Chain A
């Protein structure tokens, strides 16, 4: 029951007929894999309920079940931030590659 395989986090433009996309933009780069992993990790952690459905160890009296899930709030925020930075860097790189000036009006 992993989330939604059709939603790659890349910036690849959708192809109208679902055929082969622009190869320059569709390349799988290490950065894009890292982005995908950052965004996928919370789904694996959270949807595997059995991995955290227990009482101990408690934190200031709060059962593991609760504090572990709340810990994932900042964790996923950090992962999303990393993904955001990577996307920005990717964009700057592909912007430089293209003839158009990099990141115009982005910042």
Chain B
């Protein structure tokens, strides 16, 4: 788009890319307990051995993805205040997971659960419900991986490599293909250890870039007063398509419900995503998780500063058709070339870490809850690990096809739907962690209602230039306010679940076998039966897991 290739930036980017590639392959031998052991616990959960700091980096690398870095400021750049919902969203996440993740950790260690679906099957004795949770997880993760590619594409584009202007598709997409081939190779060989190690580099780079950007750019632009004045002026201009202002600097009354429900709904959904759970279960003890909820907010602070870059992009007069390019373009315009390279490397590596964890998480779900539950009940730990490794490759190829074969908006639409969908697994998972009262069939029905409502409602959201999937907000039925579709669907889901549970319990529908005991939910490392679990332990207890 800028004609030439930015060689200095590209060289710095290349240096960091080679560095993390070497680290990714060497990670296979990092903190390895028993040589030669091949199981899903080893490959897919890093041997469940990570302490507070590694877990912190891993979760940070996992939740604050390249897409986040590009999309959050891009949303501010486009609409102003509404895009800032990402900050309250991440504030609410931590008190929330403080209450339920330690319980999930404990019960998972007692029973060797690798995925959330493992737990749901064990708790409710329902393969159907477990399958619903697994399929939802995989469906929601796939477009997320695809969007990480969009993040890499954006920085490559701004550096003048590949991108839209080139006519030859191979030249255009080659850098992306190389990046993903390398990623796939070290994920295959090192499993979860690779992203855990690379996350160190990623975070150091990100923090450095943000610290510099938040001081250096405002000085160049004449301070925050000027930035917000210019941004306010630009956002109050009328959008020719909608005949309304483009955005606002401070959320106005009609948008409060949307802002709040989007923050809350997203916070509820975040730890339903398979990749967040994978990073959580890889930690060594229950306290590692609790301690992490007290230090993870550091990332939220960074995200808030990053979001402000969106206003700086407006004030700096960045004009891009594709909002995703606003921040890379701002970096390239403001920073000297070599530091722009560092910033682009931060975004690029920020895409590799979550893409690796997400593909591991999705393949764990497939292996445990589709392959083992339905195709091959007697799979050994070695076979499980092998299947997971292969599936992790397929998942990445699928994401690649997604991005290269289809329009980018398809991936973004699916990501939007994915957030709505994944939230519908909340009642089964979190409900199940605290009570056995909900009936498995009621949970399944609630899930189905939430999925259908959310999908249909999102389909009907139209904005000028886009007839369907125009956004994630719609009127809340019976309330007259605009709110997040995912949250409305979630409320419907819970209502259906509660009503049907009352009915099903009244007619004494069979409740399924619960293989967990109350004590399992508060067990900690060192307690009997917590450490020496094998992944096969889940299926062997009392013949549970039959529907």
- The answer, yes or no, to whether B437 is at the interface (CB within 8 Å) is yes
Question: Chain B contacts of A66 at CB under 8 A?
Answer: 84, 304, 308
Contact status B228-A105, CB under 8 Å: no
B92 partner, pick from A46, A48, A77, beta carbons under 8 A: A46
Contact status A50-B433, CB under 8 Å: no
Contact status A55-B99, CB under 8 Å: no
- The answer, yes or no, to whether A57 is at the interface (CB within 8 Å) is no
Question: Chain B contacts of A88 at CB under 8 A?
Answer: 287
- The answer, yes or no, to whether B197 is at the interface (CB within 8 Å) is no
Question: Chain A contacts of B308 at CB under 8 A?
Answer: 62, 66
Cβ distance A64 to chain B, nearest Cβ, rounded Å: 8
Contact residue range for chain B? 35 or more
Tell me, in angstroms, the Cα distance from A50 to B260 when the chains sit together: 10
B87 partner, pick from A4, A69, A79, beta carbons under 8 A: A69
- The answer, yes or no, to whether B510 is at the interface (CB within 8 Å) is no
Given contacts A6-B434, A61-B227, A105-B524, contact A22 B518 (CB under 8 A): yes
- The answer, yes or no, to whether A24 is at the interface (CB within 8 Å) is no
- The answer, yes or no, to whether B522 is at the interface (CB within 8 Å) is yes
Tell me, in angstroms, the Cα distance from A46 to B263 when the chains sit together: 9
Tell me, in angstroms, the Cα distance from A60 to B215 when the chains sit together: 12
Tell me, in angstroms, the Cα distance from A8 to B250 when the chains sit together: 34
Given contacts A3-B96, A73-B297, A73-B304, contact A47 B249 (CB under 8 A): no
Question: Chain A contacts of B26 at CB under 8 A?
Answer: none
Question: Chain A contacts of B480 at CB under 8 A?
Answer: none
- The answer, yes or no, to whether B100 is at the interface (CB within 8 Å) is yes
- The answer, yes or no, to whether B252 is at the interface (CB within 8 Å) is yes
Contact status A63-B250, CB under 8 Å: yes
Contact status B91-A42, CB under 8 Å: yes
Question: Chain A contacts of B49 at CB under 8 A?
Answer: none
Contact status B228-A61, CB under 8 Å: yes
- The answer, yes or no, to whether A87 is at the interface (CB within 8 Å) is yes
Identify whether the interface residues of B are mostly helix, strand, loop, or mixed: helix
State which residues 289-331 of B face A: CB under 8 Å.
290-291, 293-295, 297-298, 300-301, 304-305, 308
Contact status A55-B249, CB under 8 Å: yes
Tell me, in angstroms, the Cα distance from A66 to B301 when the chains sit together: 11
Cβ distance A5 to chain B, nearest Cβ, rounded Å: 11
Cβ distance A13 to chain B, nearest Cβ, rounded Å: 3
- The answer, yes or no, to whether B8 is at the interface (CB within 8 Å) is no
Question: Chain A contacts of B103 at CB under 8 A?
Answer: 14
Contact status A7-B228, CB under 8 Å: no
Contact status A47-B518, CB under 8 Å: no
Given contacts A18-B435, A46-B91, A53-B250, contact A13 B260 (CB under 8 A): no
Tell me, in angstroms, the Cα distance from A64 to B291 when the chains sit together: 30
Tell me, in angstroms, the Cα distance from A39 to B99 when the chains sit together: 9
Question: Chain B contacts of A76 at CB under 8 A?
Answer: 91, 94-95, 297
Cβ distance A7 to chain B, nearest Cβ, rounded Å: 5
- The answer, yes or no, to whether A106 is at the interface (CB within 8 Å) is yes
Contact residue range for chain A? 35 or more
* A66-107 interface bits toward B, Cβ cutoff 8 Å, 1 = contact, 0 = none: 100110111011011101100110000000000000001111
Contact status B224-A61, CB under 8 Å: yes
Contact status A50-B430, CB under 8 Å: no
Given contacts A50-B253, A63-B249, contact A18 B263 (CB under 8 A): no
Contact status A70-B301, CB under 8 Å: yes
Cβ distance B102 to chain A, nearest Cβ, rounded Å: 8
* B434-451 interface bits toward A, Cβ cutoff 8 Å, 1 = contact, 0 = none: 111100000000000000
Cβ distance A102 to chain B, nearest Cβ, rounded Å: 12
State which residues 484-520 of B face A: CB under 8 Å.
514, 517-519
* B245-275 interface bits toward A, Cβ cutoff 8 Å, 1 = contact, 0 = none: 0000111110011011101100010000000
Contact status A39-B304, CB under 8 Å: no
User: Which chain A residue shows the least CB distance to B226?
Assistant: A61
Contact status B297-A77, CB under 8 Å: yes
Contact status A65-B96, CB under 8 Å: no
Contact status A49-B256, CB under 8 Å: yes
List 23 contacting pairs A-B, 8 Å CB cutoff, sorted by A: A1-B260, A3-B92, A9-B98, A11-B522, A16-B514, A16-B517, A17-B436, A46-B91, A53-B256, A58-B224, A60-B223, A62-B308, A65-B251, A70-B304, A73-B90, A79-B95, A80-B98, A83-B98, A105-B285, A105-B526, A106-B287, A106-B526, A107-B287
B interface list, Cβ under 8 A from A: 81, 84, 87-88, 90-92, 94-96, 98-100, 103, 223-228, 249-253, 256-257, 259-261, 263-264, 268, 285, 287, 290-291, 293-295, 297-298, 300-301, 304-305, 308, 430-431, 433-437, 514, 517-519, 521-522, 524-527
The 3 lowest CB-CB distance pairs between A and B, nearest first, are: A105-B526, A61-B224, A13-B518
10 more contacts with CB within 8 A, not counting A42-B91, A48-B260, A65-B81, are A1-B261, A43-B264, A53-B81, A53-B251, A63-B250, A69-B84, A73-B87, A76-B297, A80-B94, A83-B95
